[in-house]
Amino acid sequence: NLDFHPSGRHFLQIPGPSPVPDRILRAISLPTIDHRGPEFGVLGLELLAKLKQVFKTEGPVMVYPASGTGAWEAAFANALSPGDRVLMFETGHFATLWHKMALRLQLEPEFIGLPGYEGWRQGVRADMIEARLREDAGHRIKAVCVVHNETSTGVTSDIAAVRRAIDAAGHPALLLVDTISGLASADYRHDEWGVDVTISGSQKGLMLPPGISFNALSDKAISASRESTMPRSFWAWDEILEANRNGYWPYTPSTNLLYGLNEALDMLLDEGLEHVFARHQRWAAGVRTAVEAWGLEIQCQDPALYSPVLTGVVMPDGIDADAVRKIIYERFDLSLGMGLGKAKGKMFRIGHLGDCNDLTLVATLGGCEAGMKLCGVPLAGSGVAAALEYFAQHPLEAR
Ligand code: PLP
């Protein structure tokens, strides 16, 4: 739009890709090295070891030169076979896309959930999963698939409760969890929660550009991959596991993104994961305080499940959220997440992850507030003032 010439930095406040810290961008800009040479093997071993700490696992973590969708496919292609029944829970747009993929890969997904748009305002119901697994006496269901942080809604789910539900039903199904947007911003524990395959991506909490994604594996998942008859080659865990032993990959990895990953892992582990999680929880609480001051609704209806990564802001009836986003983008050079699928036009999403701080978030809220006023959204009060007050009253504990 030629009427508004942006100057200064763009505000990338979508819930991923998140703003990349300069330190990571500088690491990515270093010269590309020989991916079969000795230096690379050292880097590979170092980052594979550090990755385990972020996934909280003792097991291996696969790294793919692919977006998160590739890592979804890798999980299905290795752990399951065509015709396998999988139980999936509809939490929002990303759970829906994963279900679509299951159909395309000739799995037999059962998609359960709470009805309608309102179902997209809640998390996974472990009791519904338990009830369905109890009915499955013949153990036809081979996997339960859930999204940890549903990026389309800003609702998290209790993965430990899903594990307990599977165990309570005495069912052997594998547990597959998408934490593409949760990892490294929201608390996540692959081993403790008994997850078999954790799927994640680079462009959210890991603060990298898009382009690499992950599968963390349990022993049970590795055993299942030996029985699986799904055709696979690029995604196959066995060859990657073999090459990873010496810090290499069976094909050309994304060398420069791996420099960035190594830097990101240092930043996260130096800060301490608990501090990283507290920082995101505090930002999320500040943003929610602003939404409350505006007198608007938050997409997530269960306070226990508010996402620390993003907040969905519901527009009053009669206001098109996409029109509001468009004005905010044009006037203030600020990108917000759109409402996806069933939430299209009803809400926008504010990301509070990646290279942010209190002031970038206050500025983001300023762009939202000014844009909503321009669009005639009735606001009860100033969200910016409320967030500033919240941040002042709740300083982040020193680490
Ligand atoms: N799952 C979730 C929860 C996501 O947020 C996304 C992307 O935003 C995906 C899956 C798909 O990942 P990608 O777009 O990197 O392929």
CA of 180 to the centre of ligand 1 (A): 6
Looking at residue 386, its amino acid is A
- 386-392 long-range contacts (CB < 8 A, ≥24 apart) are 386/289, 386/290, 386/292, 386/293, 387/286, 387/287, 387/289, 387/290, 387/293, 387/361, 387/362, 388/362, 389/289, 390/285, 390/286, 390/289, 390/290, 391/282, 391/286, 391/358, 391/362
Query: Does residue 6 lie within any of the structural domains?
Result: no
Annotated binding-site residue? 349: yes
Q: pTM of the entire structure?
A: 0.98
Q: Do residues 276 and 246 both lie within one domain?
A: no
Residue 1 maps to a domain: no
In a domain, 360, yes or no: yes
Q: Which residues line ligand 1 (CB under 6 A)?
A: 16, 67-69, 94, 147, 151, 178, 180-181, 201, 210
Closest ligand 1 atom, residue 71 Cα: 16
Residues 236 and 358 in one domain: no
Q: Both 260 and 314 in a single domain?
A: no
Percent of the chain whose predicted confidence (pLDDT) is above 90: 97
The predicted-structure confidence for 206-255, as pLDDT tens digits, reads as follows: 999 999 999 999 999 999 999 999 999 999 999 999 999 999 999 999 99
- Same domain? For 339 and 214 the reply is no
The residue from 230, 248, 270 where one domain ends is: 270
The CATH number of residue 373's host domain is: 3.90.1150.10
- Does the residue 156 lie in any domain? yes
Domain contains 29: yes
**Pair 161, 112 in one domain:** yes
- What pLDDT does residue 398 have? 79
Looking at the structure, do residues 92 and 218 belong to the same domain, yes or no? yes
Q: How far is the CA of 55 from the centre of ligand 1 (A)?
A: 17
CATH assignment of the domain containing 66: 3.40.640.10
| Closest-lying ligand 1 atom to the alpha carbon of residue 213 | 15
d(CA 95, CA 162) in angstroms, rounded, equals 15
Residue 159 placed within a domain: yes
User: In this model, does residue 3 exceed pLDDT 70?
Assistant: no
pLDDT digits (tens, 9 = 90+) for 276-314: 999 999 999 999 999 999 999 999 999 999 999 999 999
Atom from ligand 1 closest to the CA of residue 210? 15
94 C-alpha to ligand 1 centroid (Å): 7
Do 143 and 214 lie in one domain? The reply is yes
Listed in sequence order, the residues at least 6 apart from 54 whose beta carbon sits closer than 8 Å to its beta carbon are 183, 184, 206, 265, 268, 269, 273
Report pLDDT for 319: 98
pLDDT at 175 over 60: yes
Q: How far is the CA of 74 from the centre of ligand 1 (A)?
A: 14
Atom of ligand 1 nearest to the CA of 201: 15
Select from 270, 296, 328 the last residue of a domain.
Answer: 270
Residue 342 lies in a domain: yes
Same domain, 251 and 361: no
Verify that 61 and 173 share a domain, yes or no.
Answer: yes
Residue 306 per-residue DSSP state = B
pLDDT at 7: 87
Ligand 1 pocket, mutate which of 12, 63, 64, 69 (most atoms under 8 A from CB): 69
Q: Is residue 46 part of a domain?
A: yes
Q: How far is the CA of 96 from the centre of ligand 1 (A)?
A: 11
Q: Ligand 1 pocket test: which of 94, 97, 177 has the largest number of ligand atoms within 8 Å of its C-beta? A: 94
Mean pLDDT throughout 192-206?
A: 98
ipTM of the complex, rounded to two decimals = 0.99
277 and 266 part of one domain: no
Residues 176 and 285 in one domain: no
Task: Pick the more confident residue, 7 or 126.
Answer: 126
Kindly give the distance from the C-alpha atom of residue 366 to the centroid of ligand 1, in angstroms, as a whole number. 27
Ligand 1 center to 24 CA (angstroms):
21
Ligand 1 atom closest to the Cα of residue 152 is 5
Domain that holds residue 294: 11-19+272-393
Both tokens assigned to 172? 């052997």
Mean pLDDT over each residue of the chain, to the nearest integer: 97
pLDDT in tens, 217-227: 999 999 999 99
Using CA positions, which residue lies closest to atom 5 of ligand 1? 151
Handedness of CA 158, 83, 68, 151 (dihedral sign): negative
Q: What angle do CA 287, 188, 195 make, to 5 degrees?
A: 140
Nearby residues of 6 by Cβ (< 8 Å), 6 or more positions away: 333
> What pLDDT digit, counting tens, does each position of 95-139 carry?
999 999 999 999 999 999 999 999 999 999 999 999 999 999 999
Question: Which residue's alpha carbon is nearest to atom 9 within ligand 1?
Answer: 68
Q: Determine the pLDDT at residue 234.
A: 98
Same domain, 299 and 217: no
List, as one string, the DSSP characters of 213-242. EEEEE-HHHHHHHHH-----STT-HHHHHH
| Nearest one of 23, 61, 390, 32 to 240, comparing CA atoms | 61
- Number of folded domains in the chain? 2
pLDDT above 90: residue 2: no
Determine phi and psi for 141, rounding to 5 degrees.
-75, 125
What atom in ligand 1 is closest to the CA of residue 150?
Answer: 3
Strands 155-156, 149-150: pairing is antiparallel
Instruction: State which of 207, 238, 270 marks the end of a domain.
Output: 270
